[in-house]
Structure formats: C-alpha cells, structure tokens
Amino acid sequence: MDMSSRDVVIVGGGISGAAAAYELARAGASVTLVEKGALASMASGWTLAGVRQSGRHPAELPLATAAVRRWEHLADELDSDVGYRQEGNLRLARTADEVPAIANLVRGQRVQGLDVTFLDGNRAVRAVAPALAETIVAASYCPSDGHADPVATVRAFAAAARRHGADIRTDTKVTGLDVAGGRVRGVQTAAGAIAADAVVIAAGVHSDELCTLVDLDLPITIRLTGVVQTTPVPPLLRQVLGVANADFAGRQQVDGRLRMSGPIGEWRWPNSDRELGAEDALPSAQSVAAILTRGIAVLPALAQAGVARVWAGLIDMTPDGLPVIERAPEIDGLVIAAGFSGHGFCLGPVTGRIVCELIAHGRSSLPIEAFRRARFTGVEGTAKAELLG
Ligand SMILES: Cc1cc2nc3c(=O)[nH]c(=O)nc-3n(C[C@H](O)[C@H](O)[C@H](O)COP(=O)(O)OP(=O)(O)OC[C@H]3O[C@@H](n4cnc5c(N)ncnc54)[C@H](O)[C@@H]3O)c2cc1C
C-alpha cells in the first residue's frame, strides 16, 4: 500500500500505538507518535505479557492466531530481541470442581480449530511442567501460546518505526484533537499543534477522554489488578499459567523472575485531570497476599523466591470485554484502537496492521465487525475482567 501522501498522528506509545507506527511508517506514511510519558509506561509495561490464543473469545481468536504467526518472526522482522518464547499456556484445574470449566474450554476451542489439549490428571500436567504442585488436577495446554518481554517489544516496534522515518515524541501529551468539516486535521499537544489527515487513538485507559474531546462516546471502565515480580530464580516454568476461574496468572520471565497477577478490583481516577501520582494506583496488601498464596499453591518453589517489586496494572474494560478497533464513522480520518480489556498485548502486532489497513483502504483483512463502537449504543455495565495470561 502506498501511503506516501498521508500524515498520521498516533496518540499513545504502548504496544498498539507503537505497532501502528511501525506498520504505517513502513507503508510510507509520514508518522508522528505522541506519548505523554515514556514508551510502554502504562498497560504495555504493567502487563503479564502472555501471548495466547487459548481462552480467547471467538471474535478475538482469528486476530490472536494471526498475531501468534507474526510473533513467531517478530524478532527477525524488527531486528531486535523481544524476549518471545513460544512455550505454551497451561490453564489449571486446582480442584475437581474446576475440571469441567477446563474440559469445556478445550472442547470449545478445538471446535474453533485451536490446537489445545486436555491434560487429565496430575501426572499428565507435571509431565509438561514438573515444578507444578502435586495438587493440580488437570489443565488445558496450548503449545503454540507463549510470552514476551513487553517493554522490549514496544521499544523494538518504535525503533523499527523510527528506521522507517517515524517521529516518536515521548513526554508530550495530546491535549486536543482538531476536527473541521467532519474530518480530523491533527492534534494539539503541550508542545504545539501537529497537522495530520489521520489520527489514531491508542491511548489505553485515557482513550475515552480523548474521544470525549470530539463528542464521541467510548465506554471504558477501569479495573485494577496487582502484579508481583520476584527476584530471579532457577528455571522452573516455561509455560504461562492461568487458572480455571482466572483469579491468578503467572509466568517466568527469560531473566528468571516470576511475574504474577491476581484478583481484579474496581478503581477510579483520583482527580478530574486524570494525572497519576506515584501512589494513586497501588495493589492492596490483600491482593498481593492473594497472588502469593495462590502462586505458592500452584508452584511451591515460589515460596523461596524474594519479592522484588509489586505494582498495579490498570485495565481499560469495555462493556463486553472486547476492544474497539474501527474507523470512527462520525469523523473522517479518526481511527480508534482501545479498550483491550486486559488482553491486548498478544494482539499488538495485528492491531498495528489493522490500523494501517483502516487508514490505507478503509477496511481490514481480518474480521473486526465485532469491534465497532456502535455495538455499545444503549448498553450499560462492564464485563467481568479476567486476566488469563
Ligand atoms: C496486569 C496486567 C496483565 C495483563 N496480561 C496480559 C496478557 O497476559 N496478555 C495480553 O495479551 N494482554 C495482557 N494485558 C493487557 C495488555 O497489557 C494491554 O491490553 C495492552 O498492553 C494495551 O496496549 P495499548 O497500547 O492499547 O495501551 P497502553 O499500553 O496503555 O498504551 C497507551 C499509551 O497512551 C499514552 N497516552 C494516554 N493518553 C495520552 C495523551 N493524551 N497523550 C499522549 N499519550 C497518551 C499512555 O501514556 C500509554 O503509554 C494485561 C494488562 C495488565 C494491566
């Protein structure tokens, strides 16, 4: 696609925005990515960074599968180590009561064509992951799932975008969108205006406020989950772990640290200007305790690890837990990629491609009808947030 006459501004330097910058820049567009903090300073840094197809909603599965195909070659494509390991995802049944949920998941996803198997009994589970507890009853196993280093991935996309000529501006906040005659004309930033004939809102939990600036409704409710990271420990676990009721997820990073998340709670902006202070989003002691207790129960060797860091991740939940990826029908040239509801990291490489296609041709080669914002008209409430790793 020849995009050489297009000026595009992308708001947000998480994986969605950085991947879009890369795709658009290499297609020839003149790209400016504007990030209010550092690259990957919000969800794309807080994330567990599982790259999974298993457990996906049927509408997201084609995107996740296409994303995994990209992840397999992403390091070569971006010429950078993104820490990707395709070593599988295990969703555990910790009790007999949890077995039907896992068995159903396997059945349903096999029908959708995913290579996922049911590991029946502790011996079968521990043949795949020997460090798991002897109490685990069963698991689903999707060998083509995996995980990656989220900050390295975002930086790799941004660096590759730069090599294709993109201008990546960090520490620059977008404060307004310029719209005239039904068309987007650019953005206002704290450092001045930037003209553009296409603007991408990929601003995570801030996307709804940017939409509000141009009278568009993007229903996002924020949820908070704690994350615990340990000191490096010897190799214990290659797969990403989830559990049947999604109250725990975890993985071992390439550097040996375990990174785990747990219960999801409500959270509100502490002030109307939505600036986050250092102590405005923290996990409660109870949620950290729950992560550690549940983690040790499934991976007993975790008890010996040091706790190196805890932090909170904010999640941009939509009413149905699926993202919005669309060309806004109300404003020519405005594309929205937001509301990933706790599972947008894996999708990043295809989100970027879809955004590029929407700007270049007005349509996507992957099915995205389920992700139109119009589906929320008259809808209230929020889906239950689930982090599945
Ligand atoms: C604890 C946790 C675990 C998760 N686990 C997984 C997982 O295992 N697998 C998975 O696929 N997904 C997971 N997710 C979800 C995934 O991390 C996110 O969906 C994904 O990172 C979203 O990327 P994004 O680029 O859309 O948003 P973000 O990474 O939030 O990026 C948005 C960026 O926009 C910037 N921005 C906002 N407003 C402005 C403005 N006005 N001007 C300029 N810049 C602005 C922000 O600073 C931010 O950097 C998890 C999320 C959390 C929190």
Q: Which two tokens stand for residue 23?
A: 């795709």
Please check the confidence at residue 387 and state whether its pLDDT lies above 70. Answer: no
Domain with 196, as residue range(s), is 7-79+150-219+319-376
116 within domain boundaries: no
pLDDT given for residue 121 in this prediction: 98
Report the DSSP beta bridge partners of residue 324: 338
Residue found by looking up tokens 């020997």 in the block: 130
| Residue whose CA is at the smallest distance from ligand 1 atom 9 | 50
Q: In 10 A of CB 174, how many CB atoms?
A: 24
Distance CA 212, CA 335 (A): 14
Strand 334-338 versus strand 324-327 pairing type: antiparallel
Query: Which ligand 1 atom is nearest residue 344's CA?
Result: 19
Q: Which ligand 1 atom sits closest to the C-alpha of 18? A: 25
Closest C-alpha to 355, from 376, 374, 334: 334
Predicted pLDDT at 256: 98
Residue 230 is assigned to a structural domain of this protein = no
Q: Exposed, middle or buried by CB within 10 Å (0-12, 13-18, 19+), for 192?
A: exposed
Q: Which amino acid is at 111?
A: V
The number of domains in the chain is 1
Q: What is the pLDDT of residues 73-115, one digit of tens each?
A: 999 999 999 999 999 999 999 999 999 999 999 999 999 999 9
Coil, strand, or helix at residue 55? coil
Mean pLDDT score of the chain: 96
CA–centroid distance, 171 to ligand 1, in Å, is: 16
Question: pLDDT confidence of 355, banded at 50, 70, 90?
Answer: very high
In ligand 1, the atom with minimum distance to the C-alpha of 42 is 30
pLDDT in tens, 296-332: 999 999 999 999 999 999 999 999 999 999 999 999 9
175 domain residue, yes or no: yes
Half-sphere exposure of 26 (CA within 13 A, CB side): 16
Please indicate, yes or no, if residue 328 is contained in any of the structural domains: yes
Instruction: Write the CATH number for 72.
Output: 3.50.50.60
267 found inside a domain = no
Give a yes or no: residue 273 inside a domain: no
Q: What are the counts of helices (DSSP H) followed by strands (DSSP E) for the chain?
A: 9, 19
Q: Are 144 and 86 in contact (CB under 8 A)?
A: yes
Secondary structure of the chain: what % helix, strand, coil (to 5)? Answer: 30, 25, 45
Which string of b and e fits 103-114 if b means at least 16 CB within 10 Å? bebbeebeeeeb
What distance in angstroms lies between residue 181's CA and the mean position of ligand 1's atoms? 32
Residues with C-beta less than 6 Å from any ligand 1 atom = 11-17, 34-37, 41-44, 46-50, 173-174, 202-204, 206, 210, 225, 227, 261, 313, 315, 338, 340, 342-346, 387, 389
Spacing, Cα 127 to ligand 1 middle (Å):
35
Mutational pocket test of ligand 1: of 11, 34, 41, 44, the residue with most ligand atoms within 8 Å of the beta carbon: 44
Give 240-294 pLDDT, tens digit per residue. 999 999 999 999 999 999 999 998 999 999 888 898 888 889 999 999 999 999 9
| HSE-up (13 A, CA, CB side) for residue 353 | 16
CA distance 248 to 299: 12
Q: Is the pLDDT of residue 169 over 70?
A: yes
> Is position 362 within any domain?
yes
For 36, 79, 143, 158, 259, the CA distances from 154, given in Å and listed in that order, are 15, 13, 24, 6, 18
For the chain, first and last CA: distance in Å?
Answer: 34
> What is the reported pTM?
0.97
Has residue 107 been placed in a domain? no
Length reported for the chain: 389
167-169 vs 30-34, strand pairing mode: parallel
pLDDT at 1 over 70: no
- Reply yes or no on whether the pLDDT at 386 is more than 80: no
